[in-house]
Amino acid sequence: MRVIVLLCLLMLTFGLRNADAQVLNQTEFDARLLSFQEKRIVQAALAFSGDYNGLLDGAWGKASQRSLERYTLRHLNTVKPAFADLHDLLQAFEVERRVNGWRIVYTESSGISSAFPDRLLSPDAAHESAYTSAWISADGRFSLVLAYGALNEALTYHDYAYSHARAGTQPYQSIKPGRIVTSSDLSNGIFDYVRSDDIGAIYMTFSILAGAEHAGRVALMSGSIQRGRSTDLTLPSDGVLAAVLRPAPTPSIAKAPSIAEQPFAAASSPSPALSEAEPNESAPAGTPTGSGTGFYINNTDLVTAAHVVAGCAALKLADGSVLQVLAEDDALDLAALTSTRRSAVWLGVGASVTPKLGETVMALGYPYLGNLGQGLTATNGNISALQGIDGSKDRIMISAPVQPGNSGGPLINSAGGVVGVVVSRVNDMKILESTGTLPQNMNFAVSVQPLNGFLSGAGVMFPRSNTQPIDLGAGIPDQITAAVVPIYCYQ
């Protein structure tokens, strides 16, 4: 009987490794169908999401299963996880891995491996010495110190973490032969994780200090520390999890704009004498025939409107960086682009963001960029309808004034979340002909839900929204405005 069960599992595994997402949607999660590497990837993804606090050892036990169940219950209200429930979890981790350059580093002198984010942490010369190496993030809220020394020197890091614990909290400490681990919430709101390993005559100590916003990265780094060589946290291209992330080929059901709705024309490029744009917003070398707006959704990829890139022989940013089209959907009027220029900031596109009727929104974009040279503009308004003029659920109607050149720009709510992409306005003449009156402030954006579906279907990785609430009346933070850029079209 046991042989038959194992044979069935092997057959199912083979089927899943060659299946698409539609098959996986109907399959309950079973860790026995995953390879050792795939189990480590799921553990790493759960650590980054804040649901797993353990070793990334590929040993799928009760703790790992409970962590996955906790994740699906929290995000999907699902008690029994299915393979398809891992899609967003894996996608968020894959974005983090690529954007921040996570890789496994093996130190020959210590014989210890650990994960390290190459693009997130930079050397911190102020805290380095002959026996200490240090790194820190740009925001100063995530730091790592590697120290080598005798046991009494290693214990100073543990004593600090233990003695400076915030009042009312109990530090964690584990002391085993050859290894000491201490962690605590410090009185200043910083989390402190310390691990020391006996590597012979001396101890190697990891000291990690981080704010709450980096908690997932701390769990990822601390869980990856192990003796011996370890493999990178890259997803096998031919495994079950790759099939989970593989988009299902579903045809678009979006409607094209109705005759009463029309895309904004791309803002045409004027003579250079009329342009007063700032240097970082001026047109790149050459003569662009039009411009629009785009915004970064990770450090290399952008979203814009499909009609902004239509018919363009070349696409560039203001600094001359080349853009390439990854995917287009003419019915939705969306396009995903990739850039040769990396961005330190991007806008989170979250499935949890839902447009609400009447809520205050702000449209960001570069209208008439070449003609007026005003640079980035922001206009306030409200969501005046949760559907397009023809009843399409893919559109939302907004009262925020927008002009040619705004196409492809983000529509953000008071929390800083993207609720849509500006794409079109009402056809004034058609409304005048049918009603005898001219409409006012009837503009349209593609809602965030079809935007999410478009990006997922195109295989474009995007982080979930994690922006802090903002006061639209007090100005827009730099981390939002810097992610919105002009796009130049060359024919």
**Digitized pLDDT (tens) for each residue of the chain, 491 residues in all:** 443 433 343 334 444 444 444 556 568 999 999 999 999 999 999 999 999 999 999 999 999 999 999 999 988 888 889 998 898 899 889 888 888 889 999 988 899 999 999 989 999 999 999 999 999 999 999 999 999 999 999 999 999 999 999 999 999 999 999 999 999 999 888 999 999 999 998 999 999 999 999 999 999 999 999 999 998 999 888 788 888 876 544 333 344 455 456 666 544 443 332 222 333 445 565 678 888 999 999 888 999 999 999 989 999 999 999 999 999 999 899 999 999 888 888 888 866 678 899 999 999 999 866 554 568 999 999 999 998 776 778 899 999 888 878 899 999 988 888 999 999 876 554 555 555 554 557 889 999 989 988 887 777 876 654 455 667 667 888 888 999 999 999 98
Domain range for 350: 261-490
- End-to-end Cα spacing for the chain: 68
Integer CA distances (angstroms), 397 to 66, 225, 306, 388, 422, in order: 43, 51, 18, 6, 10
Is 34 a domain residue? Answer: yes
Domain end position, chosen among 197, 216, 245: 245
Q: Which amino acid belongs to residue 243?
A: A
Are 197 and 284 in a shared domain?
no
| Inter-residue contact 270 to 249 (CB < 8 Å) | no
Is 161 a domain residue? Answer: yes
| Inter-residue contact 322 to 337 (CB < 8 Å) | no
> For residue 367, what is the domain's CATH number?
2.40.10.120
> What is the reported pLDDT for 2?
42
Is 366 a domain residue? Answer: yes
Is 210 a domain residue? Answer: yes
Are 212 and 294 in a shared domain?
no
| Inter-residue contact 256 to 88 (CB < 8 Å) | no
Distance of CA 441 to the CA centre of its chain: 32
| Inter-residue contact 235 to 41 (CB < 8 Å) | yes
State if pTM tops 0.75: no
Closest CA to 95 of 466, 476, 409: 466
Are 301 and 170 in a shared domain?
no
Strands 191-198 and 290-296: unpaired
Q: Which amino acid belongs to residue 100?
A: N
Q: Which residues pair with 106 in a beta bridge?
A: 113
Are 272 and 152 in a shared domain?
no
Closest CA to 48 of 454, 466, 480: 466
Domain end position, chosen among 191, 213, 245: 245
Are 231 and 342 in a shared domain?
no
Are 272 and 136 in a shared domain?
no
Burial of 140 (0-12, 13-18, 19+ CB in 10 A): exposed
| Cβ-based neighbours of 473, under 8 Å, separated by 6 or more | none
Are 116 and 14 in a shared domain?
yes
Domain end position, chosen among 245, 269, 304: 245
Domain count, the chain: 2
Q: State the alpha helices, DSSP H only, in 325-462.
A: 369-372, 428-435, 448-457
Is 250 a domain residue? Answer: no
| Inter-residue contact 323 to 301 (CB < 8 Å) | no
Is 256 a domain residue? Answer: no
Are 224 and 309 in a shared domain?
no
Is 63 a domain residue? Answer: yes
Are 330 and 210 in a shared domain?
no
Are 234 and 119 in a shared domain?
yes
> What is the reported pLDDT for 247?
54
Are 185 and 268 in a shared domain?
no
Are 235 and 292 in a shared domain?
no
